[in-house]
C-alpha cells in the first residue's frame, strides 16, 4: 500500500522548497533571512522614506539598499505595532538542525537509550551479555547479530534500548559529529579494583555529553569486593551516591552471577520516567547512524536508531550526503520489520553508499526529494571538506564572544604533577566574566593523548598544557583536527590568558613558532665541547642558536638554547628532517638517550 504524508505528519518535507522569505501574519512579521530596507518596506507595505526617517530619528543612518540586521528589523516592527519572529531557513544543508514542534497530544513515552561504559576489565561485556541473555531463550542467544551494535531489553512491560560501543573514543567520535543518542550512561566499576584510567575517561565523556550516570558496582560476588571504597573514590570525581547526598544512583551487581540486574533495570526505568522521554511516532522518522558496513552480498548496510517518528519499510532516506530506499529492515534477531518506532535500533539495506557512524538521517515520501537533498549535501560536503568540524581556537572564541554567541568555554587541563594541577584548577574555578561560564571538562597529569584530542573535538574545547609538551604525532593530529593546544610554564600567565579569553580580549603580539624536533639516540662526552647529544631530526628543522625545550616522557625537563649544531664535524646553521646531527645545549649536560629536543623561535603574530 502506497504511503502518503496524510497517514504520518509531515516533518521537514513540508518546509523544504518554500521560497517566501518574509511576510506579515496577523500582528507578526515573520522572516528567515537578511533583507534590504527597500525589500523590508515592501513587505510591511510602508513607504521606504518613512522608515528611513524613523531610523534617522533613532540615530541609525540607513540607505535604501542597505542590509538590515535583526535589531533594526525588530525596532521598525515595534514602531508599527508588530511583533517579529525570525525562522530558521530549512535547506538541504541543515535538515539535522530543523526541529519540528510536535503537538503535546501527539507525544508518547519512548524507551530510554542506554550506553554502558567502563574500564576494560571491569565486566562491561559480561554485563551486556547478562542483560541480553536474560530476555531471550538460550537457543536464540547465539543468533543475535553482534554487528547491529544495539539491542532492546523488555522489563516489566517496558523496553530499554542498549547501545554497544567499542570504546569511549567511539562514543565521543559520534558526538563530535553532532550525534546525541544516549539518554543514560551506566558506568561499570569493579568492586575489587576501583576507579581506573578508563573509568575516569568514561566519566569525562559522559559529563561532557551532559548525560546522567548510573554506577553499576560489579563483581560483588568476589570476597575482595569493597563497594565503599569505590563510592569514596568516585566522590573525588564528582560522582556522588544518593546516600552521601549526591544525585547519582549506585547499584551493586554481579554480572557473572546475574545478581542485581533487575535492580539496575528498575533504576534505569525510574530515571527515564524522571526525564520524561517522549517522541511522536506519527511522523516521518529521523535519527542517527550507529554503525555502517559494506556487505559483499547486500551492499551498504547501516544500523539506525530511530529517535523520532516511525520508519516504514520502503521509506526513502537521506543519511548525511547519502540517500536510498529501505529495501529491508531487521532487528537484532534478524527478523524483518514493517515499521520501527522511536528508540528502536534497526539494520537497513538499500542506501546508495556506506554512511558514516554519527550521521543523522531523515525519511522522505519520494525518491526525487531524497535524491535532490542528498546531491545538494554532497556538493556542500565537497566544498567544505578542507574545513575542520571543530575550528575551536582563541580567535574563533573571540569572534563568538564579540557577537554574543558564546555562553561557555570548555577547557582540558594537562599538567606535569598533581600540585600544579590543583593550583591551576582551583584558580580557574575562581575566574568569572559576565555572561560567560568556564567549564573544565577534564583535568589530568601526564602528556597530551589522542583521547584528549577526541574529547576536545567533540566538546569544542581548548587544551591547556602546563610544563608538558605534545610529541610530534600528537601535535600533527591536533593540527589535522584543528584542536588548539596552549602551552604554559608560568601559572599566572595561563590564568591571565584564560581570563582575557573569557572577556574576549586576548591579544597576543608575540607567538611561538615551532621549528622541529630532534630525538637523542646517543650521548657523547667530549673534552672541549662537553656533552653532545647525537641523533636525528624527526620533524621540521633545527636551527643553530634556536631556543629549545628538553622533553622526557612528555614533561619539560629544561628550557634553554642551542650553543652548537654540528653535522659531520662541521658547524652548520640548520639541519632538516631525516638527517643526523649533534647538538650541544648551552650550560646544560643532563641529556639522556630517548629525550626529545624541541626547537622553536618567538616571532611577531602577523594575524
DSSP, residue by residue, 343-378? T-EEEEEEESS---TT-EEEEES-HHHHHHHHHHHH
Q: Which residues pair with 555 in a beta bridge?
A: 468, 552
Where is pLDDT greater, at 396 or 278? 278
CATH architecture of 394-508: 3-Layer(aba) Sandwich (3.40)
HSE on the CB side for 321, CA within 13 Å? 12
Which stretch of 239-243, 456-460, 483-487 has the lowest confidence by average pLDDT?
Answer: 456-460
DSSP, residue by residue, 270-286? HHHHHHT-EE-SSBB-E
Just give the CATH number of 111-276: 3.40.50.300
DSSP, residue by residue, 25-76? ETTEEEESS-EEHHHHHHHHT--HHHHHHHHHHTT----TTPEEPHHHHHHH
Q: List Cα–Cα distances, 582 to 404, 519, 541, 553, 578, in angstroms.
A: 52, 11, 13, 21, 13
φ, ψ dihedrals at 556, nearest 5°? -80, 120
Boundaries of every domain in the chain: 19-89, 111-276, 394-508, 512-604
Q: Which residues contact 63 (CB under 8 A, 6 or more apart)?
A: 37, 52
pLDDT band at 159 (very low <50, low <70, confident <90, very high): very high
Q: With CA atoms as reference, report the closest residue to 268 among 107, 111, 157.
A: 111
Domains 111-276 and 394-508 share a fold: yes
Q: With CA atoms as reference, report the closest residue to 446 among 423, 476, 412.
A: 412
30-78: pLDDT as tens digits: 887 778 999 899 999 999 999 999 999 988 888 888 888 888 999 999 9
Q: State mean pLDDT over 412-429.
A: 86
φ, ψ dihedrals at 245, nearest 5°? 90, 10
d(CA 167, CA 218): 18
Edge-to-edge strand list for the sheet holding 461-466: 437-445, 408-415, 461-466, 485-488
564-606: pLDDT as tens digits: 999 988 899 999 999 999 999 998 999 999 999 999 987 755 4
- Identity of the highest mean pLDDT range in 71-85, 96-110, 170-184: 71-85
302-341: pLDDT as tens digits: 899 999 999 999 899 988 788 899 999 998 888 999 999 9
C-beta separation of 159 from 152 below 8 A = yes
**Top-level CATH class of 512-604?**
mainly beta
Does pLDDT of 148 surpass 60?
A: no
C-beta separation of 561 from 506 below 8 A = no
Summary mean pLDDT of the chain: 82
- Farthest CA pair distance, the chain: 92
Q: With CA atoms as reference, report the closest residue to 359 among 205, 178, 173.
A: 178
C-beta separation of 172 from 205 below 8 A = yes
Does pLDDT of 382 surpass 70?
A: no
Which stretch of 75-89, 156-170, 320-334, 419-433 has the lowest confidence by average pLDDT?
Answer: 156-170
DSSP, residue by residue, 201-249? HHHHHHHHTT--EEEEEE-TTSTT--HHHHHHHHHTTT--BGGGT-SBE
CA dihedral 388→394→400→406, nearest 10 degrees, is 100
Q: With CA atoms as reference, report the closest residue to 559 among 523, 594, 588, 581.
A: 588
Q: Report percent pLDDT > 90 for the chain.
A: 36
In the structure grid, which three cell numbers stand for residue 204, read together? 569525562
pLDDT band at 92 (very low <50, low <70, confident <90, very high): low
Q: With CA atoms as reference, report the closest residue to 186 among 204, 197, 202.
A: 202
In the structure grid, which three cell numbers stand for residue 543, read together? 636551527
Amino acid at each position: 500500500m502506497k504511503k502518503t504524508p496524510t497517514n504520518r505528519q509531515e516533518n521537514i518535507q513540508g518546509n523544504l522548497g518554500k521560497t517566501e522569505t518574509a511576510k506579515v501574519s496577523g500582528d507578526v512579521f515573520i522572516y528567515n533571512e537578511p533583507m534590504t530596507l527597500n525589500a523590508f518596506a515592501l513587505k510591511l507595505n510602508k513607504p521606504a522614506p518613512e522608515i528611513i526617517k524613523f531610523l534617522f530619528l533613532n540615530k541609525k543612518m540607513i540607505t535604501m539598499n542597505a542590509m538590515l540586521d535583526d535589531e533594526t528589523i525588530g525596532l521598525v516592527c515595534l514602531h508599527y505595532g508588530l511583533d517579529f519572529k525570525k525562522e530558521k531557513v530549512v535547506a538541504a544543508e541543515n535538515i539535522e538542525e530543523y526541529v519540528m514542534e510536535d503537538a503535546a497530544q501527539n507525544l508518547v513515552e519512548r524507551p530510554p537509550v542506554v550506553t554502558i561504559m567502563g574500564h576494560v576489565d571491569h565486566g562491561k561485556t559480561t554485563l551486556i551479555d547478562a542483560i541480553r541473555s536474560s530476555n531471550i531463550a538460550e537457543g536464540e542467544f547465539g543468533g543475535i547479530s553482534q554487528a547491529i551494535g544495539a539491542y532492546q531489553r523488555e522489563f516489566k512491560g517496558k523496553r530499554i534500548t542498549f547501545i554497544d560501543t567499542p570504546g569511549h573514543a567511539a562514543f565521543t567520535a559520534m558526538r563530535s559529529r553532532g550525534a546525541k543518542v544516549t539518554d543514560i550512561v551506566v558506568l561499570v566499576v569493579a568492586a575489587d579494583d576501583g576507579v581506573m584510567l578508563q573509568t575516569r575517561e568514561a566519566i569525562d565523556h559522559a559529563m561532557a555529553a551532559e548525560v546522567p550516570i548510573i554506577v553499576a558496582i560489579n563483581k560483588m560476588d568476589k570476597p575482595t569486593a569493597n563497594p565503599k571504597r569505590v563510592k569514596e573514590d568516585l566522590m573525588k570525581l564528582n560522582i556522588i551516591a544518593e546516600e552521601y547526598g549526591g544525585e547519582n544512583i549506585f547499584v551493586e551487581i554481579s554480572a557473572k552471577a546475574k545478581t542485581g540486574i533487575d535492580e539496575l533495570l528498575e533504576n534505569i526505568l525510574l530515571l527515564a520516567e524522571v526525564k520524561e522521554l517522549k517522541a511522536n511516532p506519527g511522523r516521518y522518522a529521523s535519527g542517527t547512524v550507529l554503525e555502517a558496513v559494506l556487505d559483499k552480498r547486500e551492499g551498504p548496510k547501516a544500523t539506525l536508531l530511530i529517535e523520532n517518528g516511525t520508519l516504514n519499510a520502503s521509506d526513502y532516506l537521506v543519511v548525511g550526503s547519502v540517500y536510498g530506499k529501505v529495501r529491508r529492515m531487521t532487528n537484532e534477531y534478524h527478523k524483518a520489520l514493517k515499521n520501527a518506532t522511536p528508540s528502536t535500533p534497526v539494520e537497513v539495506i538499500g542506501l546508495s553508499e556506506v554512511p558514516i557512524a554519527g550521521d543523522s538521517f531523515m525519511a522522505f515520501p519520494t525518491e526525487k526529494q531524497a535524491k535532490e537533498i542528498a546531491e545538494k549535501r554532497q556538493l556542500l560536503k565537497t566544498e567544505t571538506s578542507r574545513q575542520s568540524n571543530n575550528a575551536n581556537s582563541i580567535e574563533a572564541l573571540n569572534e563568538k564572544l564579540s557577537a554574543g554567541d558564546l555562553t561557555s568555554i570548555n577547557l582540558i587541563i594537562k599538567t606535569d604533577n598533581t600540585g600544579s594541577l590543583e593550583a591551576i584548577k582551583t584558580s580557574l574555578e575562581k575566574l568569572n566574566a559576565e555572561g560567560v561560564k568556564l567549564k573544565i571538562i577534564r583535568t589530568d597529569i601526564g602528556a597530551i593523548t589522542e583521547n584528549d584530542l577526541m574529547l576536545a573535538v567533540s566538546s569544542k574545547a581548548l587544551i591547556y598544557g602546563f610544563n608538558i609538551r605534545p610529541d610530534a604525532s600528537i601535535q600533527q593530529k591536533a593540527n589535522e583536527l584543528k584542536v588548539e593546544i596552549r602551552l604554559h610554564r608560568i601559572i599566572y600567565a595561563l590564568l591571565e590568558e584564560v581570563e582575557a579569553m573569557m572577556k574576549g580580549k586576548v591579544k597576543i603580539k608575540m607567538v611561538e613558532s615551532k621549528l622541529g624536533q630532534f630525538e637523542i639516540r646517543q650521548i657523547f662526552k667530549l673534552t672541549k665541547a662537553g656533552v653532545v647529544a647525537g641523533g636525528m631530526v624527526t620533524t621540521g628543522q633545527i636551527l643553530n642558536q634556536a631556543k629549545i625545550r628538553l622533553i622526557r616522557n612528555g614533561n619539560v625537563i629544561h628550557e634553554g638554547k642551542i650553543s652548537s649544531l654540528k653535522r659531520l664535524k662541521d658547524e652548520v646553521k640548520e639541519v632538516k628532517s631525516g638527517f643526523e646531527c649533534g647538538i650541544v645545549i648551552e650550560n646544560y649536560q643532563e641529556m639522556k638517550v630517548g629525550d626529545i629536543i624541541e626547537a622553536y623561535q618567538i616571532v611577531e603574530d602577523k594575524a
